[in-house]
Structure 1
């Protein structure tokens, strides 16, 4: 149960309060450290899954904790970023991303209850979305750094890319689940 992939997932959860504290520090280096903490969390997201498959250490605990850790870290980061920049321009993709995560999590839970969880498994689109999302958040955290305003603009652009991919992947999940949702699966078509 407490293998390396699961420990990496737990580390990601433990990094959330660290990220919050560093994000709010009144220091010229705070955004660099906050971006590094978020980047480390994003790296553990990739690494825990990779190691679990490589070392054949997948577990029910890991399958549960991994998506929870991802969604918590992203939601916390988006809320903090919105607090710093409460414009509609940032709020719209943040709402789409957080709303999608809630919707797809509920869909997966319901599909698991009826024994059809495999129909809403993670897709390649979801992995690309996650990458765009993680990179965009890191760039948005670096907003007031020496790199200049283009970093924030690129982060915002990538957040919109992530939001579009988020909607697209949600549509794909809903389409896959539609026969079960609409009752067509029970009627045989």
Structure 2
């Protein structure tokens, strides 16, 4: 039963990540409240999975990865290349996705960050309208909302983990036992 609650916490994190991406895209701000809520959802899910498995390895790996990411991105904040909200957000993501999916998240983050940089540098790739105006404004300011690719990579990784858990649960008969 703890697996269901852990999956529910992952599902609840997806709309919050989408909100963070939108707010960061439009205002270049990531609120501490949203990051703290993500941390609670992620740590709660990891705690439930750790209680079910009896192993605290994923909790320790996620905490270590979060600390490493925070320390690695802190100099970029000091150089004013990214915002403090971006640093805090990327430090919280390992708690959401657990240690086993960090490689998937890293590849997706690279893809989304490159796509974001390409769009900001070439806003004519977008259709005319509000998005093009916002991206042109970002290009003039020299700001790239890094919370957007972080959130998109986390959403895709969470969707992959949820799908993988549901497939595993259905193949092992756990879902049939719940009905």
Do these two structures clear the TM 0.5 threshold for a shared fold by scoring above it? no
Output the TM-score relative to the length of structure 1: 0.41
Query: What's the TM-score, normalizing by structure 2?
Result: 0.43
Q: Highest relative contact order (Cα 8 Å, sep 6+), 1 or 2?
A: 2
